[in-house]
Structure 1
C-alpha cells in the first residue's frame, strides 16, 4: 500500500446547532478534496491538546497515511471546547456525537462514511452512538468498554459499591477543571476557564443517587436491546483490565455483528499496552475501516468471532512486562461447556457435581475488613501493583478450597459460575469469590473474581433484604478469563466477605455461614479452537517522545498501624513534567489517594483523593487542586469535593461543593 502524505490541522472549530463551539484536531490525507476519504471520529473529555495527544499521535498519522482521516473532538466543557459537561454518556453528549458525524460526512473531503472509535469513555460512547443509528456511521471499534453500565463499569458490580467510583469522580473533577490552552482559545481563555470552574458538576453526587440498576444505568447500556444494534463492531479488551467481560458479552448479544479480540493487556490500546505480547492494532483497524468504510473486499467481515490470548500459568510480579500464553481463535462463539467442581467434607475441591441433598456442612466466615489489599485496581493503567498481586495475602482472610495437584493441563475460556447456599444475620453482606492458580511453590495468581451484594442476589433493579438467618441459595457469575492451569498446579476457590479497598463495606459486618456441601463451581472449558498468530506491531515503541523536564513516579503501599488498629491503602502518582515539542505546552499531574479502615468497623471506612494539575509555558502557569472524599454512617454516604485554581502564584478561584449525605440503599 502506498502511503499518502497528510496534513495535521491542530484545531478546527465545529459549531453545533445550539451554538456551542467544539474543538477538533484533524489528520487529513492530502488530496482528499479531489479524492474524498472515509473518516474515523473519536469523542472524549480527556483533552486532545495534552491529555490524549501522545496516543493520538501514535495512531491517527498511521490512519491518515492509509487514506483515512482522523477527527478527534473534545466533548463540551473539556479541553478547548465550549459549554459545560453534563455527565457521562448523556443524551446531550450522544446527540452532539450524532451531529458531529453528520458534519464529518457532509465535508467536501469526506466520502460520506464515518467510523467511530475509542477506548474507555470513547469505547462506551461509540457503542451507544451506534445504537442510535446515525446514517453516516458504518462501523465502530470499541476498546475497554461495556455493554452494561451498571455491572461492568467503575460504579457498582452486582450491587457492590466500587471505590473506583470516588477515584474516577476525582479524576473527572480534576480533568474538567483544567484551563483551555490560550494558544488555541485566544484572549478569552480566562473567562472560559472561570465559567467552567463555576459550573462543572461533581459526578459522584449523581452516581450515588442511583444505587440500583434503574433507567439511569439502562440508558447507554446496549445490552438492553442487542437486537436493534446493527452496526459492525470490533470489540477489544484485556484480561488485566476491569472491562474484560465486554468482548464475549458483545459477541453473545450481537452475534455476527460483533468480533471480539481479548489480549493480556491493561487499560490501553493494544499496540502500546502491557503486558506483552501486543497486537498490531493499526493494521487491524485499517483493514476494518477499509472494509466497512470503503467496501474493500478484504475479508474483515469473515474474521473469527473470537480471538483470545490464553494466559499460561502466569505469576504475579511487581511489574508484568510479558505474560506467557498462546493465541486461539473460535470461528463462531457458543456458550462453553463447564467442568464442574464441588467441595468434599474436608474442604478439598473435587471434580464433579455437589451431592444432591447432602447433609448441611456449615462453616462460618467473617473476613477482616481490610481483606483485599492484594486486589489491585478495578481498571488498570500500569502493569505494576495496579494489577492483582500474590493472593496469599488475601487468602489469609478468606475461606479457601483447593484441588489436588492437577494431573494434566486445564484450559478455560469464558465466565466461571459459582452456586452455594448461605445464611446471613443482616439485611445484606458482600460476597467475593476468587478463582486462584496455586503454583507448585505456593505463589497464588488471581485468575478471575466475582462480587455480589447479597441484597442483589435476584435483581440489581429491585434488591431485597436477606431474611434473617434463613438459608438462601445464590448464584454468582465471575469475570471472564482465558487461562491455562498447568499440570502440577492446584485450583483454589477463595471466598471472603470483604474486598477492600476495591469494594466498600456494607453498613454491618455480620459474616456469613456457608454450607460447603452446597458449593458448585463451573469452569468454562476452552473447547474446540484453532491456534493462531496475532501480528505484533512493527514499531515496538509507538508513542512520540516529549521533552522531559521532571521524571514521573508512582508509589502504592499498605500501612497497618498496629497500635491504632487502622489500615491505610496509599497511592502517590506523579506523571512528571513533559513538554510537547510542537506546542511548547508542558503539563504535570500529581495524584494522592488514601483509603483507611479499622478491620472490625465498617463505618470507619473513608477515602480521599487529591489531584494537582499544572499547565505552563514560559511566562504562563496555571494550576488546579481538586479534592474528593467519601465516608459513611450506617444510613448515609457522605461525600465532599473542592476545586482551587491558581494563575501563577495567585489563587483566582475556590469552590467548596456542599457536603452531601446520600441515603444508602441496601449497600
Structure 2
C-alpha cells in the first residue's frame, strides 16, 4: 500500500471530542478535519462502533480517516455507548438505543459550525451493519453510506444462525464481546475511569445464550434487518464484501433490491479491501472519496453510473488456507442480476454422478468431526483461517462429481440444491460444499450453504421433521464468482455434520435423498472489465512492539479417548502507542472438541485476556466461555475477571441453559 503524506488540506486531530446526548450520556469521538473547517465547513463521515478508537481500531483508523480528512472531510470515529472512552452501558448488539444514539450523533454533527450539514456513515462488520440500520431510519442529514462486510438479515446471514443452523461463532462472538467490552476507558482521557469501569463490568452481559435462544426469525432478529423493507434505504449505498468472508451475500441482495446501491466483491477476508488478504487489494479510500464527493459534496464525477456490480472472479488454484493472493480478474455488471448468467440444472444421481440422468437414493450420515478444514466464519488474515484442502472432508462426505471439464466454467451468483428427502430424526441439518476438484485430487471450496431442515418451509415458523416422511427443501449456497479450469471437476459434497462451523444435531441423523438437482448460475465468460485503483493510505500509527505475537492452528486426535479437537491460539503480543504511551495486548485460545461417533461429546472452550498499562497503571481482564449440550438443552458458562495490578477487583460467573427447540 502506498503511504500518502501530503494532502490538499492540512488537518487537525482531536483525540477526545465529546458529544453529549439528550439523556446526558457523553460519547467520546476522535475527529480529523481540515484546519480551516470552521471557516470553510466540510461534510462529516461517521464511523460508530464498540471497538475502542484509543487502541482497538487505531491502526486502521489512522490510515483511513486522516486520508479522507486530508481531502476535505471531517472524519468522526465514535466509541458507542458503554465502550472505549464513552459513558453508558452496553446491553446488546444493534439495540434501539444504539441506533437512536447514531441518529442523534448525525444530527449533532450536521449542526456543528465546521460541518456543511451533509453527513455520510461508513463501517465494516458492526459498523457496516449499523450504518445500514441507521440509513433505514432515515435521519435527514445522512446522505450516503459505505457498508463493508455486513448483512441485511440478522437471522439468516450473521454470526448466530445460517440456514437456521446454530453457528459456533455465536459462542465465539459472545466470548469476544464479553472480553472486548470489559476494558476500561483510558485514564489519560477520563479521570473517573475506575468508577466507570466497575459499573461497566457489573452490567456486562454474556450474550451467547440470549442469541441462541431465538431459534426462529422472530421480532428479535427482524429488528435491524434492513431487508425487511429495502425501500426505506433512500440514500446511496456502496456495499463491499469479500469471497473469503461469510458476509459475501449482502452485496448482491442490496444491489438487486435497494434503490440506490452499488456493489464491489473481491477475494478478501473480513477486512477493509485496501489492506485485506488475499490480494489483490484495491484503492478502497479512493473509491470512498469518489462516493463521498458525489453524494456529500455534489461533485458530478459519474459515481451513479458506475457498474451495478464489480466482482473479482477467482480462478482455479491449489488450496491454501493462508493464501496471500488469488489469481482472477475483475468483471463489471451494468445491471444486477446479470443478464449474462443462465441457470444450468445438474441432477445428482446414483453412484455419485453430477449431471447424469439416473435415479437417486443416497443416505447421508457423516461423522461428527467432518468440517475441520472449513476455516473461520470471518477470517481476518493469514493464520490458516481460510478454507484449506477440502479433500479430507470430502472423503467423509457424500459426493457427486461432474466429468472433467473440457472448457472453462464461469460461475457468478448463488447455486441452489432442490431436494426431496426424508430423515430418521426430527432435528437434522444438511451442509453442502461446492468444490473445484483438480486432477491431483485436491479440492477447493468455491461456496458452501447449510439448511436446518426444521426450517425447510420457513425461517420464521420452523417445524420438526416428520420422521420417515418425504419432504421438499431448497438449500441455497453462498454467492460466488469462480472460473474452473479445464480438466477440473465440479463437486457437490453433502454432510449432516459440519464441525466446528455448526453445532451438531442432538442425535446423529440420517438424511436420505430421493431426488436432487443442483441449479448453477453459469456466466457466459468475461475478461478483465475493471482496473481497480491501487491501495493508498495515510501514514501508519507510531508504535513500538514490546513483545512479538504468534499464532497456531492445529488438529489434535486423542488416540485413547477417540476425540478430535481443533485448537486455535493467538498470542497478540504487546505494543506501545508512541503518541500517548498506552500499552495494549491480548491473548486468545479456543478448543473445539468432538467425538466422531457422538454429537453430545461436542464441547467448546474459549479464553480471552486483555491487557492495558501505562507507567505504574496496569489493568487486565480475563474472560472464559464454554459450551456443551445434552439431548434437550444447550449449556453455556462464562466467567469474567478484572485485575488492577495483581488485585482482583471484579469477578462474575454466568451459567445458562437454552432449550433445543429446533437445533
TM-score (norm 1): 0.96
Deviation at 1:20, TM superposition (A): 0.6
Match of 2:646 in 1: 649
Which segment is superposed worse, 158-167 or 333-342? 333-342
Match of 1:306 in 2: 309
Show the 5 A alignment for 1:141-290: 141-186=146-191, 188-255=192-259, 257-290=260-293
Match of 2:373 in 1: 374
Q: Is the 8 A contact 1:272 1:542 kept in 2?
A: no
Q: 1:25 to 1:596 in 2, by over 3 A?
A: same
Q: 1:23 aligns with which of 28, 39, 56?
A: 28
1:310-332 Cα deviation digits (max 9, x unpaired): 00013222421110000000011
Match of 1:79 in 2: 84
Deviation at 1:576, TM superposition (A): 1.3
Q: Distance in 1 between matches of 2:603 and 2:218?
A: 26
Deviation at 1:539, TM superposition (A): 4.1
SS at match of 2:623: strand
Match of 1:510 in 2: 509
Q: Distance in 2 between matches of 1:11 and 1:264?
A: 36
1:248-281 Cα deviation digits (max 9, x unpaired): 01111114x1000000000000101100001101
Which segment is superposed worse, 341-350 or 239-248? 341-350
Which segment is superposed worse, 1-10 or 612-621? 1-10
Which segment is superposed worse, 422-431 or 66-75? 422-431
Q: Distance in 2 between matches of 1:155 and 1:538?
A: 33
Show the 5 A alignment for 1:458-469: 458-469=457-468
SS at match of 1:4: coil
Show the 5 A alignment for 1:316-331: 316-331=319-334
Q: Distance in 1 between matches of 2:229 and 2:526?
A: 29
Match of 2:95 in 1: 90
Match of 1:338 in 2: 343
Q: Distance in 1 between matches of 2:519 and 2:597?
A: 33
SS at match of 1:487: coil
1:610 aligns with 2:610: no
Q: 1:542 to 1:514 in 2, by over 3 A?
A: farther
1:96-119 Cα deviation digits (max 9, x unpaired): 000000000000000000000000
1:522-552 Cα deviation digits (max 9, x unpaired): 1112247673233243549974352111111
SS at match of 1:576: strand
SS at match of 2:188: helix
Deviation at 1:562, TM superposition (A): 2.1
Q: 1:542 to 1:600 in 2, by over 3 A?
A: farther
Deviation at 1:181, TM superposition (A): 0.5
Pairwise CA RMSD: 1.5
Which segment is superposed worse, 375-384 or 621-630? 375-384
TM-score (norm 2): 0.97
Q: Distance in 1 between matches of 2:321 and 2:159?
A: 24
Q: Is the 8 A contact 1:431 1:498 kept in 2?
A: yes
Which segment is superposed worse, 121-130 or 518-527? 518-527
Q: Distance in 2 between matches of 1:530 and 1:83?
A: 52
Q: Distance in 2 between matches of 1:491 and 1:190?
A: 58
1:153-185 Cα deviation digits (max 9, x unpaired): 100011100000011000000011011100011
Q: Distance in 2 between matches of 1:542 and 1:373?
A: 39
Q: 1:233 to 1:272 in 2, by over 3 A?
A: same
User: How many residues were matched structurally?
Assistant: 656
Any stretches of 5+ residues in structure 2 without a counterpart?
1-5
1:32 aligns with 2:29: no
Q: Is the 8 A contact 2:284 2:535 kept in 1?
A: no
Q: Distance in 1 between matches of 2:102 and 2:277?
A: 30
Q: Distance in 2 between matches of 1:348 and 1:362?
A: 12
Q: 1:340 to 1:424 in 2, by over 3 A?
A: same
Q: Is the 8 A contact 1:428 1:465 kept in 2?
A: yes
